[in-house]
Amino acid sequence: MNLVELTQYTSNEERAEEYLREQGILKTYHDCPYCHGARINRVRRAKFKCYTCNREWGVRRGSILEGLRVPFTKFLMAIKLFEIDTSVREAAKQLGLAYNTVYNLHSLTRNAIFAADGSTTSFSGEIEVDESYFGGRRKGKRGRGAAGKVPVFGILERGGKVTVEVVSDVQSETLLELAIKKVKRGSLIYTDKFRSYNGLVSYGFKHRRIDHGKKFANGKVYINGIEGFWSFAKERLLKYHGVDADKFPLYLKELEYRYNHRDRDLFDDLIQLLVGYNRVAYTE
């Protein structure tokens, strides 16, 4: 849904609420959540009432919106601003909301992405595998094992998706275990000369290596795809001016998600993710 289409739902609270209810982000009760009496009705602006037990509940009950005070219209606009990658500061200004409120909304969306984790997908065909280092203050020692940096392992299917994951180290065991878990046997894996990738063949993969020292790409033997993802990720992370180490995996999954959904309608996808997150967070 583009910005113009979205405006039909953000003109007033009723319309926005209706949309959120239709999508399943707001939970619709067909009977009373306390006594299961069927005689329920809307009372006042934001309440429902049961005429059997006389109890009332809010329109946001049972949804991720329950703890949020932000109007439904602004909630939808915040998702749009997240989609187009607006900073928290700028989104707060555009929405007339406090920085922390928007920060919490963006975190909610990011958590929904993380919880849905698309990386369980199996990869096959022509695969590029590589590791890279994120964070750290200065460039420091080049290459593998650079101090203070977080190693990330990535798998990319040519013409398909990417999956990335923070790893404790770049030992052969660690990296091969992930490759074995996620890539179908018999697939052709391209790597560079790093010795941790020795042994792929003995696990039933075909393996070709590229030597960066000699030539960047040799026919089909290249890992430009995964390296393209590393540049994409690093450039975007720069915008955040450094992410807390404990939040880094969340941001990394967001980038994986954005990369894998680059040709899709991100707004609609995010709404569906939030519906799924709703289901996880609220199982009444």
Q: Give min distance, CB of 31 to Zn ion, in A.
A: 8
Query: Whole-angstrom Cα distance, residue 273 to residue 171?
Result: 34
Q: Which segment (45-53, 77-85, 187-195, 206-214) binds Zn ion by CB under 5 A?
A: 45-53
Q: Give min distance, CB of 281 to Zn ion, in A.
A: 23
The yes or no reply on residue 164 touching Zn ion (CB under 5 A) is: no
The yes or no reply on residue 38 touching Zn ion (CB under 5 A) is: no
Q: Which segment (48-56, 84-92, 103-111, 133-141) binds Zn ion by CB under 5 A?
A: 48-56
C-alpha dihedral sign at 34, 37, 38, 41: negative
Q: Which residues contact 9 (CB under 8 A, 6 or more apart)?
A: 15, 16, 18, 19, 73, 76
Q: Which segment (31-39, 76-84, 93-101, 102-110) binds Zn ion by CB under 5 A?
A: 31-39
Q: What is the DSSP secondary-structure string of 64-83? A: TTTT--S-HHHHHHHHHHHH
Query: Whole-angstrom Cα distance, residue 274 to residue 106?
Result: 12
Q: Give min distance, CB of 52 to Zn ion, in A.
A: 5
Using the rule CB under 5 A, which residue among 11, 28, 35, 84 binds Zn ion? 35
- 32 or 88, CB closer to Zn ion? 32
- 34 or 282, CB closer to Zn ion? 34
Question: How many residues make contact with Zn ion (CB under 5 A)?
Answer: 7
Torsion angle, alpha carbons of 233, 239, 241, 245, to 10? -30
Using the rule CB under 5 A, which residue among 3, 43, 46, 53 binds Zn ion? 53
| Residue (of 15, 14, 13) closest to 5 by Cα position | 15
Using the rule CB under 5 A, which residue among 1, 32, 78, 183 binds Zn ion? 32
Q: Which segment (43-51, 126-134, 205-213, 234-242) binds Zn ion by CB under 5 A?
A: 43-51
Using the rule CB under 5 A, which residue among 21, 24, 37, 160 binds Zn ion? 37
The yes or no reply on residue 43 touching Zn ion (CB under 5 A) is: no
- 32 or 70, CB closer to Zn ion? 32
Q: Give min distance, CB of 44 to Zn ion, in A.
A: 17
- 62 or 154, CB closer to Zn ion? 62
The yes or no reply on residue 48 touching Zn ion (CB under 5 A) is: no
The residue to which tokens 């949804």 are assigned: 63
The yes or no reply on residue 50 touching Zn ion (CB under 5 A) is: yes
**Total residues belonging to the chain:** 284
Query: Whole-angstrom Cα distance, residue 77 to residue 97?
Result: 11
The yes or no reply on residue 52 touching Zn ion (CB under 5 A) is: yes
- For residue 7, the one-letter residue type is T
- 31 or 244, CB closer to Zn ion? 31
- For residue 70, the one-letter residue type is V
| Residue (of 106, 94, 33, 99) closest to 63 by Cα position | 33
Quick check: helix, strand or coil at residue 224? helix
Query: Whole-angstrom Cα distance, residue 153 to residue 95?
Result: 37
In this structure, are residues 276 and 108 in contact, taking their beta carbons and an 8 Å threshold?
Answer: no
- What is the binding site for Zn ion (CB under 5 A)? 32, 34-35, 37, 50, 52-53
